[in-house]
Amino acid sequence: MMSQLKQLPLFVTKASFQKRDVKSVTFKGNFDYPIHRWFRLTPSFSPELVVDILAHWELPSNAKVLEPFCGVGTTPLVCQERGLSSCAIELNTLLYFVAKVKTTPFRNLTDLDVAAKELIAQAQSHLAILKTLDTETFLIDYHDSIPKIRNVTKWWSPLVLKKLTAIRMALTDASMPVDIASLLKLAVASILIEVSNARHNHPSLSFAKVPKNDAPVFERFREQIEMMIRDLQSFPQARPKTLVLQGNSKQLEQVLPTNSVFDAIITSPPYPNRYSYARETRPHMFFLGLVRDGRAVGELETEAIGGTWGKATSVLSGHFDYRSTVVEESLRGIPERIGQHGHLMQNYVIKYFNDIEQHIESLKPFLRRSAPLAYVIGNSKFYKIVLPSDEILADIFQANGFQIISIERMRRRNSKSGLYESIVFAETR
């Protein structure tokens, strides 16, 4: 059940960044706001947090904001609501697609409604045929139309999979503008886990003990479209320029347009907690045809900050060096203590902060003097050894020529004792 829809406030009084509630920090805050609620990403942050950071800085109206770890587009979407130009970068193929769709203005709401109804009608026609087939015949005869994810019937029970495949076939058959097709695809992607045998019982997806034999796929798809139409009606029609790019923020010089200059950064890099964005989004990527195979998903994980799943595991299994004395000194011997319990996790922590420093180094040419930065990050524990990620991040920023303004510890996390989320506020010199 969706909570009552809100509008982000136009004017914000001085905000506190300590002792914040869950909704004002985490993904749970997204469900209250139009467009922000279109796709659930558990490790994303709340639009309220972005609003408060922008108000804290009082940026001029012509400021341009950079979001180098875009996720589902929270920062650029808030910037649009605030009338600020922004640029966002995302490595993950699915999250890039979501952020791009959410930040692209769309006004032809009647056309979207008609296209959704036609799509459902066509999908129902396909389903009438698919339902006559036994599971084995369906999987063989419709192999090209079924998502290529491994153990597909573990993700979705046969009847549910037939409904999703019918929609997939209808999307392939349909002739429609790209913007409408993208909205329809996002509507389907947003319900894929809900109708699956997977659950969000933990930060990472896990499978339910009892598979879901059936689910209201068409009904939920239609509800998502109706919600999207309402949200587009209530969202500001005039949106400032937003550029969403797919690429790796460890190498910004290869992603950003030449001579790009930004006035501020609001972002949240992946936390050093082994959460895999590639693993968690692979059913969506396979359904939408955004990846060719499991190897492509593994490449995304390998290129990500840290990376401990799939192919990335083999990268961490050998010897791993600090890329600089800055990273080594900032980590204060913590990886070596972790290594007494697990060599892989020692390498993971080193690689994570090696990657973070590479990202920080690549930032410098693109920021104006005295540009403010806000990095939202959570700490971690490995074998009961605390990794104070916010302090380490601040040390690496400072060693690379940035001024640390403050570290604001916002809230305790419920997953384990001693875990918290912080904002590291910094500034270019």
User: Residue 3: its pLDDT value, please?
Assistant: 47
pTM metric for this prediction: 0.94
Note the pLDDT tens digit of each residue in 258-290: 999 999 999 999 999 988 999 999 999 999 999
User: Residue 185: its pLDDT value, please?
Assistant: 98
Q: What is the mean pLDDT of residues 101-128?
A: 97
pLDDT at 12 over 60: no
**Of all residues in the chain, what percent carry a pLDDT higher than 90?**
86
**Which residues touch 365 (CB under 8 Å, ≥6 apart)?**
253
Choose between 262 and 16: higher pLDDT.
262
pLDDT at 32 over 80: yes
N- to C-terminal Cα separation, the chain:
47
Highest mean pLDDT among 178-192, 292-306, 400-414: 178-192
Mean predicted lDDT score pLDDT of the chain: 93
Type of residue numbered 144: D
pLDDT at 342 over 70: yes
User: Residue 230: its pLDDT value, please?
Assistant: 96
Confidence class for position 326, pLDDT limits 50, 70, 90: very high
Is the separation of the CB atoms in 79 and 9 below 8 Å? no
User: Residue 236: its pLDDT value, please?
Assistant: 82
Confidence class for position 5, pLDDT limits 50, 70, 90: low
Q: What is the mean pLDDT of residues 159-171?
A: 98
Query: Topology of 22-105+239-428 in CATH?
Result: Rossmann fold (3.40.50)
User: Residue 365: its pLDDT value, please?
Assistant: 95
User: Residue 231: its pLDDT value, please?
Assistant: 96
- Quick one: which of 248, 242, 306, 247 has its CA closest to 274? 306
pLDDT at 56 over 70: yes
**Of all residues in the chain, what percent carry a pLDDT higher than 70?**
96
User: Residue 2: its pLDDT value, please?
Assistant: 44
The Cα-based distances of 249 to 178, 256, 268, 362 in angstroms read: 27, 9, 12, 8
User: Residue 313: its pLDDT value, please?
Assistant: 87
Q: Which residues share a beta bridge with 207?
A: 198
Q: Where in the chain is the domain with CATH 3.40.50.150?
A: 22-105+239-428
Write down how long the chain is.
429
Q: What is the mean pLDDT of residues 302-327?
A: 90
User: Residue 208: its pLDDT value, please?
Assistant: 87
